[in-house]
Amino acid sequence: MSLAKKLMGQTAAYGLSSIVGRALNYLLVPVYTSVFAPEEYAVVTKLYAFVAFLNIVYTYGMETAFFRFANKEGADQLDLYHKVQSMVLTSSLLLTAAFIIGAQPIAESLGYPGQEKYIIWLAITMGVDALVAIPFARLRLQNKAIQFATIRLTNILLVIGGNLFFLVFCRHVYQGDYFTLLQPFVRTIYNPELGVGYIFAVNMVANLLFIPLLWRQLADFRFKLDFGFLWPMLVYAFPILFMGLAGATNEMLSRLMLEDWLPENFYPGTSNEAALGIFGANYKLAIMMSLIIQAFRYAAEPFFFSQAQDKNSPNTFAVVMRWFVIFCALVYLGISVNLDIFQYFLGRESYRTGMEVVPVLLLAYLFNGVYYNLTVWFKLTDKTFYGTYITIFGAIVTVAANYLLIPVLGYMGSAIAALLCYVAMAAVCYALGQKYFPVPYPLKAIFGYLLLASALIWVGYTWDLENFWLRQVYHFALCGVFLAVVWVVEKPRKLLFNR
């Protein structure tokens, strides 16, 4: 089996939990948007934007450091697991306790007085996420992709089931729409005033169930805090921490600043808070690309480190990049030309006014994945500080672009800012990487496929059809054109399977 096929197989396994699971999670988008008005949904968008930053602080780059040091010659992986898990466990408990103690002033400062329970539930959710991060990394290190995927998928199904139970079943029973005999029972477990709080509560409970699901990985853990041993890991990990924080700035700043930087009445009849809710809901349609990248990262990180000593690794990384871009370009094309189908996931008509941002966000996520592929050079050469510099540069681009574009273009300005950020980061990372760890990336093919996908999207929007079913055939035909070009150009059996 070729290395490329092995990586594809592992990515598919991890994708079972990330892509298939989150595709099921798409069911929650129409649930949320039908139950909650944009103004109500805005609190979910805003608080989870903060969570994106804090999740990085909770693990502070130790997952990547664990992979790096576990793959060094003579490494005792079990002892390393004990020490890293002890470090992450200690810091997570301290952080979670701090958030719980300060929940009331934090909620008030964010503009949600009396809702400190949201902060407490999110703190517990983040604490458990950090607690299980290294056990999950250990599964990836051991190539236990199926076990990893099964546990992750179980968590996602619990989140979906819990949300459907409270926000659909219990709400309708409570209102007397059906199963009225169950009203006395439902009234004891369902409080309509909690509203969006059920989203946070269900996620917390589902995360807590990670602990029994990962019991085998947690059962052989022995607390062993050794700061002296961990210092080299921290030196390696801290640049990744800052890189992650800057990366979260790139992705989440628009959701934090849109409400404040958008001029009043920019969208007539729509408040700034409602505009944030609309933008956040449409971001969900672009998240499929992010999930593909996440699944790829789960498989690629241990794969890249395992190839560090192979003399042929640059050629392998180039092949991986080529097929990564081809697959993501197809997803970019497929979702963009079929937004007339995906719009129904947004529920209320008011959310669909922001769908123009989706293709731009898909392309932005795609370049984020390209950037991730390019970061292999500074991770394998232990120059992770370059990643910090590059991502801080990206954060500066994000802040400046959002500040300049939001007042002029609204949430489309935020989407363009994300695209500019990831394109700039990928360009800088490529230039530096070719100096320190040259990889023969197929630039002509990469840009050729991206231009082809973008051109087909333009064709799909410019020459559309009135009849719904003919339009779907037309859109799938455009995807078929892309695949036909790939087949003719790549001859995939020769390129991929006969390496």
DSSP string, 375-411: THHHHHTT-HHHHHHHHHHHHHHHHHHHHHHHHHHTH
Which secondary structure element, helix H or strand E, spans residue 435, and what is its range?
Answer: helix 411-436
Structure tokens at 494: 């020769």
DSSP letter, residue 263:
P
Q: Collapse the DSSP code of 144 into the 3-class scheme (helix H, G, I; strand E, B; otherwise coil) and give the result.
A: coil
Residue type, 335: I
DSSP string, 78-137: HHHHHHHHHHHHHHHHHHHHHHHHTHHHHHHHTT-TT-HHHHHHHHHHHHHHHHHHHHHH
The per-residue pLDDT for 475 is 86
The per-residue pLDDT for 313 is 76
The full set of domain ranges for the chain reads: 3-497
Q: In whole angstroms, what is the distance from residue 64 CA to residue 133 CA?
A: 11
The per-residue pLDDT for 430 is 93
Residue type, 304: F
Secondary structure percentages of the chain, helix, strand, coil, to 5: 85, 0, 15
Q: In whole angstroms, what is the distance from residue 477 CA to residue 470 CA?
A: 10
Q: Going by C-beta distance under 8 Å and a sequence separation of 6 or more, which residues neighbour residue 489? A: 445
Q: In whole angstroms, what is the distance from residue 138 CA to residue 63 CA?
A: 9
Contact (CB, 8 A) for 372 and 243: no
The per-residue pLDDT for 118 is 92
Contact (CB, 8 A) for 48 and 297: no
Contact (CB, 8 A) for 70 and 64: no
Q: In whole angstroms, what is the distance from residue 12 CA to residue 142 CA?
A: 16
Contact (CB, 8 A) for 481 and 459: no
Return averaged pLDDT per consecutive 10 residues of the chain, 499 residues in all.
Answer: 53 56 64 80 81 87 81 76 90 94 90 88 94 88 80 87 91 88 89 89 93 86 79 78 73 73 84 80 77 70 63 81 90 88 71 84 91 84 80 87 90 90 93 89 92 92 78 88 89 52
pTM above 0.75, yes or no: no
Q: Collapse the DSSP code of 73 into the 3-class scheme (helix H, G, I; strand E, B; otherwise coil) and give the result.
A: coil
